[in-house]
Structure 1
């Protein structure tokens, strides 16, 4: 089964390279990215530039996310969380088959 909701499902306009980078992240890396983005969206950090604190990501990736409006950052957060849930379901399915 492929991932059920592509990035466009939430109306996001990510570059192909950014979408590919996100889709290549492991469960733990994706969870870290969600934490970093949620922290960025907090009241204290909203005015600062987005950066992935827990990961070594390329600058162009952080710049693309930083250019998003708050609405689009929240949409990205929703998509990342849904992808994380999907990765977990795949992990459980693989464990059941073992």
Structure 2
């Protein structure tokens, strides 16, 4: 028997998922980010991601007033992702 999907209401959260130290990014994700920002994929990879030490890439973080560190795309006011639609 298949499990029922779990739905989340991000409006009731302070963005826990954006504070994970390891937010993996695929090559396809990087292409989407590049398209969203109108820059080449290589520029998006360098600007928005970093190596994870395991051969992959993760999103870069920046200072966060609540968790001290969060994804660079987290809106500090609304606590919502600013690139969710682009991913």
Q: Do the two structures share a fold, i.e. TM-score over 0.5?
A: no
More helix per residue: 1
Tell me which of the two structures has the higher relative contact order, counting C-alpha pairs closer than 8 angstroms and 6 or more residues apart. Answer: 1
Structure number with the higher strand fraction is: 2
TM-score, scaled relative to structure 2 = 0.27
Q: TM-score, normalised by structure 1?
A: 0.25
